Structure 1
Amino acid sequence: MTTQPALIRETFPVGPLQCNCTIIGDPLTKKAIVVDPGGDPELIMARLDKHGLKVVSIVHTHAHLDHFLAAGEMKKRTGATLHLHEDDRFLWDGLEMQCRMFGVPYSPVPAPDQYLRDDEELACGCGVALHTPGHTPGSMSFWFADAKLLIAGDTLFRRGIGRTDLWGGDYATIERSIKQRLYTLDEDATVITGHGPQTTLGEEMRENPFIRA
């Protein structure tokens, strides 16, 4: 019996707010998705080239500026499709306003090509999208069961949770998303957070000071 080779995965901080960008690649087809290209398109392209990957899909955990500042440039260079949950379209449309508020240079980004749905299979067939609102109305997490990997965006951090005082944020909603969607997954899973160090689901279920299982 042959075993499936492990996914290619690399996470690295990008952009002015050091958002964690993640490349997920299929080792057989060499097709890849890029999650949260928050800046530094040259760096992202170089990492893709290093792994010999072709990006086919650019997916966003949510539509705050620091998670998609390089999305337009990445789409222009690769032809990859842009994906977002529809409930965050108002934030996507307000990118210029967000940039102005945070003093970040504005680069226009085209409209999303497709809207993500809850439980939708991601490109490359390697994971699924989970709708985990609260930080924003359209916040998504991406679950790769075989790899025991969760990309949580700004929903869950190491010993923290996403702030809920920005546009459309809601504490009761993020609490429900974390308890009912994330803490029901494999507690051995590695969690890639939107910013800062990774963690595991089990650690957060037991030790997160804001929301425990």
Structure 2
Amino acid sequence: MEQMTMIRDTFPVGPLGCNCTIIGDPITKKGMVIDPGGDADKILEYVQARGLEIVALIHTHAHLDHFLASGELKEKTGAPIYLHPDDKFLWDSLEMQCRMFGVPYTPVPDPDFWLKDDEQLCCCNGVAMHTPGHSPGSMSFWFEDQKLLIAGDTLFRRSVGRTDLWGGDHATIEKSIRTRLYTLDEEAVVVAGHGPSTTIGEEIRGNVVVRG
């Protein structure tokens, strides 16, 4: 029997245009929200239209533009919050981050679970990959069956995430991209944290910052 295609919606949210992605299993209707960076009502509209039960709120990292709807979504769905522990210091400074960027702060509870490298995600055979550099705890999420990578702010179309913020390091992000992301299927679609999607192969050959 042919495998049913995973449910996936990606759309910009919040004041900084973070790409939020909803992933869902078409059979069980279990789903997760990756990087709920604002506009909780908009996210919930997508969830309800797909008939999903959200069982996880997963973050690629803890910069303000990737969390702004997390508290409201946890309250409305009951889903736990996931983050890599190396970004806990950023999560603890979310109010300060909002103040620096002039964004209204809404309190967010602490993460419920800490993500680990190579951890299996709760649906659609996704795997968490620790890809530090943009932040110490930056994660990417790989769905091999679908040839889909959610890269957060690690890899962009023809660019990479900035490394001049708290805990960023250019040598580290370059290593993460070369040793983890560029080893994936070249046909895989890459959903970046902001802006248009790309593919692994396109970035190996055309990324002006980190070439394969």
- Normalised TM-score (structure 1): 0.99
Per the alignment, residue 110 of structure 1 pairs with 109
Question: 1:164-196 deviations in whole A, cap 9, x for unaligned?
Answer: 000000000000000000000001000000000
Q: Does 1:151 align with 2:142?
A: no
- Secondary structure class of the residue paired with 2:145: coil
Q: Does 1:4 align with 2:3?
A: yes
Aligned-residue offset at 1:126: 2.0
Question: 1:129-151 deviations in whole A, cap 9, x for unaligned?
Answer: 00000000000000000000000
Aligned-residue offset at 1:125: 4.5
- Secondary structure class of the residue paired with 2:56: strand
How far apart, in 1, do the equivalents of 2:103 and 2:68 lie?
A: 9
Runs of 4 or more above 6 Å deviation: none
- Secondary structure class of the residue paired with 1:203: helix
Matches within 5 A, 1:156-195: 156-195=155-194
- Secondary structure class of the residue paired with 1:211: coil
- Secondary structure class of the residue paired with 2:22: strand
How far apart, in 1, do the equivalents of 2:208 and 2:8 lie?
A: 29
How far apart, in 2, do the equivalents of 1:54 and 1:64 lie?
A: 26
- Normalised TM-score (structure 2): 0.99
How far apart, in 1, do the equivalents of 2:78 and 2:3 lie?
A: 28
Q: Does 1:78 align with 2:68?
A: no
How far apart, in 2, do the equivalents of 1:113 and 1:88 lie?
A: 14
Per the alignment, residue 131 of structure 2 pairs with 132
Q: Does 1:59 align with 2:58?
A: yes
Checking the alignment, whether the CA contact within 8 Å between 2:6 and 2:124 is kept in structure 1 is: no
The amino acid that maps onto 2:188 is A
Per the alignment, residue 26 of structure 1 pairs with 25
Checking the alignment, whether the CA contact within 8 Å between 2:37 and 2:70 is kept in structure 1 is: yes
| Range 153-162 or range 122-131, more displaced | 122-131
How far apart, in 2, do the equivalents of 1:129 and 1:212 lie?
A: 23
Question: Over aligned residue pairs, what C-alpha RMSD do you find?
Answer: 0.5
Q: Percent identity?
A: 68
Per the alignment, residue 35 of structure 1 pairs with 34
How far apart, in 2, do the equivalents of 1:176 and 1:137 lie?
A: 13
Question: 1:72-131 deviations in whole A, cap 9, x for unaligned?
Answer: 000000000100000000000000000000000000000000000000000115200000
How far apart, in 2, do the equivalents of 1:152 and 1:10 lie?
A: 15
How far apart, in 1, do the equivalents of 2:196 and 2:114 lie?
A: 28
Question: 1:34-71 deviations in whole A, cap 9, x for unaligned?
Answer: 00000000000000011111100000000000000000
Checking the alignment, whether the CA contact within 8 Å between 2:124 and 2:143 is kept in structure 1 is: no
Q: Does 1:207 align with 2:206?
A: yes
